[in-house]
């Protein structure tokens, strides 16, 4: 692992896209996550709150950087084997990925039903 400095104009892990797409995607995903949280009862478990907090926090952190600077600063560079490097990322990217993985795992294990009342 090395610390580096990359100005990421794309989306997560530097995937290239038009500049407005990450903004729309981030806002849309955050709104959907918040809607699901308030609409469905199982989303009130502690682990779901942690997963959503990681995802929304990472998304909003990157969104603030993108709105403020026009890019996101990535600084973690992982060499997996040989000369293969995982694309540079930051802690917000890590939080979003871990939150999404935990969220997906919990969705597969929970029975979802609308809240009553």
Active-site residue, 77 included? no
Comparison of pLDDT for 13 and 62, the residue scoring more:
62
Instruction: Name beta bridge partners: 89.
Output: 76
20: three-class secondary structure by DSSP: helix
- Asked if residue 17 belongs to a domain, the reply is no
The pLDDT of residue 95: 94
User: Which is catalytic among the residues 8, 58, 63, 93?
Assistant: 93
Total domains, the chain:
1
pLDDT classification of 112: cutoffs 50, 70, 90: low
The pLDDT of residue 66: 83
- The boundaries of the domain holding residue 99 are 41-117
CB neighbour class for 87 (10 Å; exposed up to 12, middle 13-18, buried from 19): middle
Active-site residue, 65 included? no
User: Which is catalytic among the residues 26, 59, 74, 99?
Assistant: 74
- Asked if residue 82 belongs to a domain, the reply is yes
């Amino acid at each position: 692992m090395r610390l580096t400095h990359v100005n990421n104009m794309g989306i997560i892990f530097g995937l290239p896209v038009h500049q407005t797409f990450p903004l729309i995607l981030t806002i849309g995903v955050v709104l959907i996550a918040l809607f699901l949280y308030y609409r469905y009862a199982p989303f009130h478990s502690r682990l779901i709150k942690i997963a959503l907090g990681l995802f929304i926090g990472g998304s909003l952190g990157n969104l603030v950087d993108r709105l403020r600077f026009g890019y996101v600063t990535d600084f973690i560079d992982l060499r997996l084997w040989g000369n293969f490097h995982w694309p540079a990322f930051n802690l917000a990217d890590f939080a979003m990925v871990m939150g999404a993985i935990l969220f997906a795992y919990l969705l597969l294990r929970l029975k979802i039903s609308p809240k009553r009342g």
